[in-house]
Amino acid sequence: MRIMRFSSLFTSFLAVFILSSLEKPSRNSYGLTPSDASWVTWEKRAFDHSLKKLQKRESFYKKILETQIAKQISRYKTGLEKDHINKLSQLIVHESKKYSFDPLLVTAVIITESSFNNWARSNRGALGLMQIRPATGKELATEVSVQWQGIPSLYDPEVNITLGAYYLSKLFLRFGDLGLALEAYNHGPSRLKGYLKKGYRPKHYSQKVFRNYSSLMSNFYWQNWYEHPSPSI
């Protein structure tokens, strides 16, 4: 938001100076006095510097997030080859950011669903890391333009997490509440809607996810943050 505000302010000032050039063509070719042009140059440099600082901090934060998630994954038996395991944390961060989710939240969902067992299968037929049913997976794949190859697609970590993160976002937009979105993810949106009509709001699954999320947050902010101090910018 700060970038947007600063950029809008700079753009507004620049627009004023350009309009000034149309009204007073007798000045230089851009209608700006030397002092005005100098001020605009300074503003642009200040903006560029601030943007670079924010980008550097974002890159740093992303890196330590990936490291933290990788540590969590290493605690589980994933059943995956090493090259797939190494990409998992990057994939989780990437897909989470698409929908403005905290990657640690998506990590908590995966831990709750499958304990990072890529070959997990529920008694209801849900498959893979984020436990998606084939019928749901096929529908989601069409919506996000992911190639669908049946059940094997859900055992592909990239496809599974791509569909799972999208599905959670879709449910959040539908129910407008993260707790309800998580319950819909677990029970199915139609069943949850039926529960709500009867005045019953299930909480067991969402509370389990939130407990896992809280644990991940605690490890990240109170342990790893101090092990990796913020870069001097």
What pLDDT, in 10s, does the model give residues 27-60? 444 454 565 555 555 555 555 555 455 556 677 7
Block residue for tokens 């600082």: 53
**β-bridge mates for residue 127, sequence order:** 121, 132
Please state, in angstroms and rounded to a whole number, the distance separating the CA atoms of residues 154 and 148: 9
Domains of the chain and CATH, by start:
1-62 (no CATH), 76-227 (1.10.530.10)
Active site residues: 113
Q: Give me the helices (H) in 118-203, please.
A: 134-143, 151-154, 157-175, 178-187, 189-197
pLDDT in tens, 162-218: 999 999 999 999 999 999 999 999 999 999 999 999 999 999 999 999 999 999 998
Residue 116, judged by CB atoms within 10 A of its CB (0-12, 13-18, 19+), counts as buried
The two structure tokens encoding residue 93: 């961060």
Q: What predicted TM-score, i.e. pTM, was given to this entire model?
A: 0.74
Element at 215 (helix H, strand E):
helix 204-219
Strand partners, 132: 127
Q: Closest Cα partner for 9 from 52, 31, 40?
A: 40
Instruction: Label residue 128 exposed, middle or buried (CB < 10 Å: 0-12, 13-18, 19+).
Output: buried
